[in-house]
Structure 1
Amino acid sequence: MSASAPPPAADASEDEGVDRHGFWLRTLRTWDLFFVAMLGVYTVALLVDAMPAHRTVLALVHVAVLVVAYALLGRQAALRGDPHRADAYLAVLVVVMVVQVGLGGIGSVLLFVAYSHIWFFSRRRVAGVLWSVALTVGITASASTRLRPDGAGLAEIAGQFAVALVFAVVLGLWVTQVAEQSEERAYLLDELRAAQDELAASHHASGVLAERARLAGEIHDTLAQGFTSVVMLAQAASAELDHDRVDQARTRLRHIEDVARDNLAEARALVAAFAPPGLDDGGLAAALRRLARRFGEETGVRVQVEHVTDDGVGREQQVVLLRAAQEALANVRKHAAASSVTLRLVRTGDDVLLEVVDDGTGLAPGTSEGNGLRGMRARVDAAGGALDVSGAPGAGTRVRLRVPAPAAADDPDTVRTAPTDPTVPPAHPQEQP
């Protein structure tokens, strides 16, 4: 139970589940002060005692021996966790105490130091008991030799020291138990802190990965699609100029400027973590109509907008639905070779349903999902909804997603029909999902 036990990283004592080295090390300064105070009081008492001079000198010499032994053996054992130095110090302590009691005077005062140090430096409970018994037997024999009592006197001396022994053992065992519990609590607290730190680090790493995934999805659904439009419009403008169709080329350039401005607004919104800027002007319904109109102008694909309503649709759901519509139309642009697209958004009970249907080349059997559809599915799943993509070769493709929405301010079964908003012809294929 001691300062002489190995550090926490080493093996614990065989009969003890808790290493108390750390506990004793933290209290070493207090033990130093206690030791110095007791020896100071004892030294003063020796100097004023009426004991013969040669005995006083011998007692002071042994006090000095005890001080040196504590400094070189005891304290170093506490600092280094050295059991051999601790045993050597306890042996010196027992000898000094036997001599002090044998010299008479008030040598028994040092028993407070002796018994406490035995329990401080003993590595195990049994070692503390054995050292306490050895000290008690030694001082009993020393006192009996000095006083030479009769049978009754010897029994009285033995009884007094036996009481001191019982008190020392009980107190030592109790302090040992306190030390063990304190070290166990400290160990558990360290374990808890380590677990909390590890959990916090794990949460931080998960948050970083989640934020990266979110930003990747946002960039794919906004900036990347916008740059794709810019490239295609620039190619179209170049073709118009090659055929001296300046007015048409100027129209393409105007579209490029509009897309670039939109991309700039999206980039600023991403940096500031705002919602899509398109939702700030008229909400989701207006944003979808603008999206359809611009898509038609850029591609020549006829876009029919039907049954668009955003009544009671929360902001988070609006973001999911707008991004899904953007991705679906981007896939039509790149893969579908469609001539017309129908976009509808309706409120059905507690859900909002978005459909984007084209009349393009459709999906070949076994077509795998690309990054765009995987990102769309992740968004819909996070919103608690469901996504279905279906189609057949030559029969077009339908993207259908459903997300739950907060209770609408109006009757949830009410579906408002918006006037259709068409545009005109050519295109490209639907993303191999």
Structure 2
Amino acid sequence: MGLSVGTEAADRTSGAPGEKSIRQGIHILTGVLLVVVAFAAVKSDALQLLITLALCAAFSGIYILGSRFRDTMSGGKNQLWLLALTLLWVLLIPIQPTAIYLVFPLYFLYLQVLDDIRGVIAVIGATAVSVFSQWPDLTAGAILGPTVAALVSIGIDYAFKTLWKVSAEREELIAELLETRSQLADTERAAGIAAERQRIAHEIHDTLAQGLSSIQMLLYVAEQELKKTGIGDDEAETILKRIDQARTTAADNLGEARAMIAALQPAALSRTSLEGALHRVANGIVGTEVTIAVEGDERQLPMRTEASLLRIAQGAMGNVAKHADADRCHVTLTYDEDEVRLDVVDDGCGFDPAAIGERPRGLGHIGLDAMRQRAAEQHGTLTVESAPGQGTAVSIAIPVEDDTHGPERRATALTQVEDPGAHPEETGR
């Protein structure tokens, strides 16, 4: 696991804002310092100059090779690369003291490749080597120089890593916002289509279907009155035959109107659609056992209310699957007289709602914000109860007025138009 740290760190920072510029800065600093060391060795004897140039060339070659393949090498190879550079640097210091300044680019390499506490430890070790390599001519400047440089390097590295983390969170936020906007657009579009289909179904029921039903009733009454007149069977036969043909035609047309009403009626408004949709969402959750329960007298809800409850349940169960690490999740849909309530409870790892609320709006909790917004659009409330290690409970309550479901009951009644062969007296009712 430890050998993969370097590669993981490279993956996290690859393409981060300013990361390329930092690497280029380290390359330039390393090259300039190597040139300074080489020129400083010109005043030395020939053997010392030769050894210095050889070590500088080896340092430069290993540095260039490792920098080129740093992002694709494994963590172990990256660590061997750093070890080789460090050894060459340690060998250079007693031969050419100016090489001590090569510790500056090494600081940044330690912190970038060893992206954990080991990088700080490596910086401390390199600082100790820099200080004690000047023994016995230690001065305050000899101690403060490498120490201050180490602290500055750690501070710069921390600042840039924090910047990259914030940038990654913002990118994630933008992606979530775009996804949420797309979902809201799809929901509004589907709601508009369903509302128009329902309106047309109502119009067909209130005009065509009711008119055909009235025609059947009137034809039945006309038949009964004809029989009461005492007219002979031969004379009444033709009239009764025409009445029967008219009743059959009206019944056939009523059946077609009934089929159109059933086809136009939005599937989301069928009696068991919300519970069935919750089961379909639960079936898509992997790794967590989800149970669905319905309490109270189940009734038809307004289409927008059902759509909002379904989307909120989908988001809550999605959070359980992605973040809760839960074994079980229980979803309860409760129908009260004046409200409908949805509770999603899991036994997962939980979290601190107060800490989430203190974060900048949207960063890491866009899902909760979206659910609150959906509940608020229906004049409802969303409550989150959780604590680390104690699971999470999300409760949504949406008010439903007593007469709110009247139009939906009426819509349901659209599919209960009498059979073509029903008794005309029943049809009249």
Q: Tell me which interval the TM-score lies in, with the shorter structure as reference length.
A: 0.3 to 0.5
**TM-score, with normalisation over the residues of structure 1?**
0.44
- Tell me the TM-score normalized by structure 2: 0.44
Higher alpha-carbon Rg: 1
